[in-house]
Amino acid sequence: MTESRRIPIVEKITSANDFVAQENREIFKQNGVFAINIMAAPGAGKTALIVKTIELLKNRLRIGVIEGDTASVTIDADRVLLAGAPAVQVTSKGECHMDALMVREGMKQLDLAALDLVIIENIGNLICPAGWDLGSQACALISSVTEGDDKPYKYPAIYRNLDVLLVSKTDLLPYVDFNLSYFQQGVEMLNPGLITFTTSAKTGDGMQPWLDWLLSKCQGQP
């Protein structure tokens, strides 16, 4: 009788992704680029916050954006271009997350040597992106107050490996049922001491600490 063997297909796929991700990280480093993977649920305000960030930092940093999308519509990439930053869109063809190979294709379309910061806008999802290393030096999550304050309790995995958290749309706090203390308690249980900024891309409130953090990272500070 032939002995059956268990083939860990998923492990092989993720292992290959991690290999490419490490190569991506080295390429970013060699070009003096700080890359950040920004994740969020659909509608959390990723693009709005990225556009605001570009508008406020474009005179101090050379910024490029890799846009992940499930389809070939270029709405978000067009907004980035209008804000004054080069952008390339990578289409996942229906997949709910980006992977390191998609990022590599986007990197090929950017002049990395002419950039200080690359923002990777991941596909809107709170589950799939959590398990995929893209080769960035940092991972961020944008969590909107309009989503509710229970997201850390419902989607713990995506909060565990973050370097920074941005609570967005804070200008709407007077109009939504969102308990910031309850939300932060959930985050703290999953990722103690996580750097957190409360922001509003619409009003600009809370943006400066986030900008200062990005500037420090681009300058090589820990």
Q: Taking residues 104-114, report their average pLDDT.
A: 97
CA dihedral 63, 16, 164, 170 (to 10 degrees): 80
Domain-wise residue ranges, the chain: 10-218
Region 192-217: what's the mean pLDDT?
Answer: 98
- SS3 assignment, position 115: coil
**d(Cα 62, Cα 29) in Å, to the nearest integer?**
15
pLDDT of 1 higher than 50: no
pLDDT band of residue 13 (cuts 50, 70, 90) is: low
User: Is residue 77 predicted with pLDDT exceeding 90?
Assistant: no
- The pTM assigned to this predicted structure is 0.91
Residue range 10-218 forms a domain whose CATH class is alpha beta
Burial grade of 3 (CB within 10 A; 0-12, 13-18, 19 or more): exposed
Question: What pLDDT does residue 67 have?
Answer: 93
